[in-house]
Structures are given as structure tokens and as C-alpha cells.
Structure 1
Amino acid sequence: MQTPSQQNFRVQLGITVLSVVLFATKIIAYFLTHSLAILTDALESIVNVLAGFIGLYSLYVAAKPKDSDHPYGHGKAEFVSSAVEGTLIIGAGILIIGQTIQNLIDSKPIASLDKGLILVGITGLINYVAGNICLQIGRRNNSLALESSGKHLQLDTYSTIAIIVGLVVILYTHWNWLDTAIALSISGLILYNGYRIIRKSLAGIMDEADDDLLKQFVTILNANRKQNWIDLHNLRVIKYGSTLHVDCHLTVPWYLNIHQAHEEIDELSAMIEEKFGKAFELFVHTDGCMPFSCSICDKMDCTVRQYSFTQKIPFTLENISSNLKHGSNNLG
């Protein structure tokens, strides 16, 4: 059975080969039509090819096991790859703007639009299907490199659709100026999406808190909370490629022995595995409850309770991220 890292690599390999074929198809379409809009699409495909090889190498590196030099593994290589891909996308946008200006100075007549439309339409359909596969597998395996590839391929599809619509209009109206307008509009969209990919990759490199991921943890913790989990705090979730590293403090009854406390950690680990798969590492520090914990603890069979139970505090994004135990000050 393939590991998530192996599956990511095989998918990226297929995408890389596909990007080379689609780039060649768009170049043929450009030479048939001399359409600047189609050239725009082809230039963006150069980025697809380069990004494909970069992503392939990054997934190869990310799949390597941890070693003495990289105790957390090599997963961060995916963030670097994504940043490079975003930079290449921005470069393509700038190149397209430059080519558009050059075309205004030395324009060529548009020809054979019907044949060009067929070729470009086929590439757009294939790109969308491939991008959707990348996104689904990337999200399932927590692979930013695959997600970036998928978003880029789907962006390529949307720009292709815009180009096809514009070229159809040109075919029937002979408004050749629309060719330039389409190219400039798509270049703006490309620049914006390049920025978004770089922003997300830098967030991963800097270990920025992922609020969406933490909210998922809050939801499953509340849905599967055990009676001995008095509180859970100081939660940190960091993504290293397809692997999640989870650190937290778990407050349990102070009288549990080591084996009993470890059983609680095992249950927490099983809960995370059921939701996120086996690609994670869990490090839990267990805390014994304090007298102020009694008011938020609903363990009715406790024989050493010092204060009456008042209210159970649900886990929230704020209190699981705090480095303090939950107490009466958390009651709302």
C-alpha cells in the first residue's frame, strides 16, 4: 500500500508529464492562430512545466524519512517549492504584460481561430480534471505542493475559458483589440494568484498558526471528549509537508497513575488518527488537576473532589491555544 508521500509523488509525476504535453499543444495553437491570448495561455504553461519539475523534486525530498539533521523530517521542502511556484506564476504574469505591449507595437493578423479554439479547449478540459485530482489528493494528504499544482491547473482552465469566449467573439465580430484586452485581464488574475500561493507557503515556512486546522481540532475534540479530559491547552499544530506535528497539554485527574494517564493519551491519538490519518506525530504533556479544576470537572465518581461542579467548559480556539489550565476564570 502506498504511503501519502509516495502517492503525492506519483500524482505530481503524472502532472509534470501532462504539463509538457499541454504546453506543446498550446504552442501549436499559437503558431496556427498568432493569437496573443493563446500565446498568453502558452506562456503560463511554461510555468506549469517548471513548477511541475520543482514540485516533483520537493515531494521527493519531503518523502525522505527524518534523520539526525532533520529530526522533524523533510516536509518543509513542499513550502519552499510552493513559494518558487508562486514566484514563477508572478513572473509569467509580468512576461505576459510585456508580450502584450510588444504586440501592440508589432501586431500580427489573427488566423485559423477555429482550429486554435479546438486545441485550446481540449487543454482546458484536461487541465481542469487534472487540477481537481491534485486538489483532492493534496487536501487528503495535507500536501501544499499538490494543492498549489491543483490550484494552478484550475486557474489555467479558467483563463483558457476566458480566452475561448474572447476568441469566439473575435471570430464573429473581428474585434481584434479584444485579444489584447483578454491577455491583460488574465495577466492580472495570474499575478494575484501567484501572490496568494507565495503568501500561503511563507505562512507554512514561518509556522504561522492555521486557524482552519485548529478549528477542525476544536470540533473533533468536543465531539469525542472523554470524562477524564478536564481540559486541553497549549495546543500547537504544525504542518511539515503531509505530516502534522501536534503538541498539547492535557489535564487529567491528579490521582491517575502513569499507565492510566497514558491510556488517555492513546485515546486522544486514536481520535486524531481517525480524522487526519496516520501521518502525524503527537506529543502530550499530562497535567494533574488542581482544586480550581473541580468547578469545571463533571467526573461524578471522584472521591477527592473539593468543590462542587459548576459548569463544563467547551473547548474553543482561544482556550485550547492558551498556555494556562482552564479554571473558573474561563466560565462565561
Structure 2
Amino acid sequence: KPRDANHPYGHGKAEFISAAVEGTLVLSAGILVIYNSGERLIYPGEVVQLDLGMILIGSTAVINWILGFIARKQGSRSGSLALTSSGKHLQSDTYSTVAIIAGLALMSITGFLWIDSVVAAAFGIFIIYTGYRIIRTSLAGIMDEADMDLLKEMVAILEKHKMENWVDLHNLRVIKYGNVLHVDCHLTVPWYFNVHQAHAEIDILAKLIRSKFGESLELFVHSDGCLYFQCPICEKKDCPVRQHDFKERLEWTVDNSLQNEKHSRGDVLSGNGHAEVSMREGN
């Protein structure tokens, strides 16, 4: 559903709620499997028509796994957590079915009725873990938890394709709502650039991110003018107002890109993203 006046950032978080429900259902199914296996272990009953039961249950398992695989693939392609969670739910049903089949097969071979319960309980624990992971991911999305893997990938791409007019990048924030990626950052450009020139650099940055992460992107960039203490890390070769010689290149990392302050040569020398701030005057 597209954004509206009441939901300016869209409805992407509804996917996280949907995923939380799916995760709860998966976790509940695991608990139910363990409960039933315990009940069968305590009160074993006679099992009849094992061959027919295994064929019917096996057919259901194959169908669920294929549907789950398709849903997970589509969810991964579109960035939809709801589809991915639905796929995991279907495949968790497959795993519980496999547990039933394995238990029935072993039971028919050995004649021990308790094997079915033990195998089912083991798979029930696995299903509970799958449900927990789905719920954990959905809660992370609801709470806007930073996706460090996504940040590392994005910073690596920006570092690799850094333009000479991009003096610095800081205060980077990335949030994903459903399949929409929201990126906020401060991009430092030469202070003498006019509004149109600064905006052109932002357009290049946006095009680069979209080329790697898709068109479903919202980009909010605050353009900063560089300060003279940044000359030693500025790689612009034809700068008409340079006050200090270029000394060292500052590699953009997750640590220094997240900082809410401009960088200087001190960041390079310290190696840990903490620079001397005595020369800094604003962001």
C-alpha cells in the first residue's frame, strides 16, 4: 500500500507485524509438536496403515517445501520480510512432516513406538528455533535496529566509488521498511559549490545506491561545505581554495560513517574513527 498523509513513510512496518505473527505461529507449532510427542511417549497407541500414511504425509511435505521455497525466493528478491517469513513457515511445516515420516519409518523397522516421539520432539525444538529467529528479525525491524551487514555493504560500495568532490561522509543512517530503503547521511562537498552543484553530487550518490540496492529508495542527504582542516584528506586535485596539502586518504568505514561529525586527518592517524575535534567548527 502506498504512503499517505497519515503514513508519510509508507506501510512497510506492517510486514514486520505480519512476520511476527508468522513467527509466533511457527513457534507455537513447534511447542505443539513437542507436546504431542510427549503425550505419545507416555501413552503410546497402535499405529496402522503406515505405508499409506507415509505416502500422503510425504506428498504434503513436498508441496509445502516447494511453496515455501518460492515464497522465500520472492521475498528475498523484493525485500519482503512477510513473504520470507511465510516461506519459512511453510518449510517448517515440511520439517515437522519429515520428522513424522522419519519416526514412522524407524518405528516400522524396529518396532519401537517411542522412536516416533523422540524424533518428533527433536524436530519440534528446531521448529521453535526457526520461529524465534523470525520473531527476532521482525522485532528488530519494528525497533529500527541497525542492519550492520547492510551498512557494511553500502559503505563498502560508496568507498569503492567515491568521487573526488565527496570530501566526507558522516551521520549515515539506513532503515528498511518492508522493501523500501531509507538512507540519511551528511555529504561534505567543496564549500564554494552552489546549490545546483551540490545537488548534482547528491544525484550521483543516489544513482549509485539505487544501482546496487534497487529503485525502492528514499534518500535524504544534507550537504555540508568543507572546512580547511579537511584539506589534508581532500582528494580534489584542482581545488582553487586549498589551504593545506593533501596528506592521506580517509577510508570510509561503518564506524566513521556513523559518526555525527566531520572528519579530519586525525581520523586517519587514530585509526579508530575518533579524530581530534579542536579544529572542528560545526557539521
Q: TM-score, normalised by structure 1?
A: 0.77
2:66 matched to 1:129?
A: yes
CA contact (8 A) 2:20 2:135 kept: yes
Q: Deviations over 1:272-298 (max 9, x none)?
A: 111111111100000011111111111
SS in 2 for 1:244: strand
2:143 matched to 1:206?
A: yes
Structure 2 counterpart of 1:317: 254
Structure 1 counterpart of 2:3: 66
CA contact (8 A) 2:232 2:265 kept: yes
Structure 2 counterpart of 1:97: 34
Shift of 1:267: 0.7
1:161 and 1:219 mapped to 2: Cα distance?
42
Amino acid at match of 2:148: D
Alignment partner of 1:168 out of 105, 109, 115: 105
Structure 2 counterpart of 1:326: 263
The CA RMSD measured in Å over matched residues stands at: 1.6
Q: TM-score, normalised by structure 2?
A: 0.90
Equivalence map 1:185-200=2 (5 Å): 185-200=122-137
Structure 2 counterpart of 1:296: 233
Shift of 1:214: 0.5
Structure 2 counterpart of 1:180: 117
Structure 1 counterpart of 2:278: none
Q: Deviations over 1:221-248 (max 9, x none)?
A: 1222111111111111111111111111
1:221 and 1:321 mapped to 2: Cα distance?
13
- Could you tell me the percent identity over the aligned residues? 57
2:194 matched to 1:248?
A: no
Structure 1 counterpart of 2:208: 271
Of the structure 1 ranges 108-117 and 70-79, higher mean CA displacement relative to structure 2 is found in: 108-117
1:163 and 1:100 mapped to 2: Cα distance?
10
2:195 matched to 1:258?
A: yes
Q: Deviations over 1:71-108 (max 9, x none)?
A: 11111001111111212222222222332333344432
Amino acid at match of 2:248: Q
Of the structure 1 ranges 309-318 and 131-140, higher mean CA displacement relative to structure 2 is found in: 131-140
Aligned residue pairs: how many? Answer: 269
2:143 and 2:45 mapped to 1: Cα distance?
47
Structure 2 counterpart of 1:108: 45
Of the structure 1 ranges 148-157 and 251-260, higher mean CA displacement relative to structure 2 is found in: 148-157
Q: Deviations over 1:109-163 (max 9, x none)?
A: 1122212222222222222222222222212211111111222223333333343
2:258 and 2:73 mapped to 1: Cα distance?
29
Alignment partner of 1:229 out of 156, 161, 166: 166
2:160 and 2:74 mapped to 1: Cα distance?
26
Structure 2 counterpart of 1:216: 153
1:241 and 1:146 mapped to 2: Cα distance?
10
Alpha-carbon distance change, 105 to 157 in structure 1, aligned in 2, over 3 angstroms:
closer
Q: Deviations over 1:145-182 (max 9, x none)?
A: 11112222233333333433332222222121101101
Equivalence map 1:9-158=2 (5 Å): 64-158=1-95
Amino acid at match of 1:283: F
Amino acid at match of 2:188: T
As a proportion of its length, which structure holds more helix? 1
Gaps of 5+ in 1: 1-63
CA contact (8 A) 2:19 2:85 kept: yes
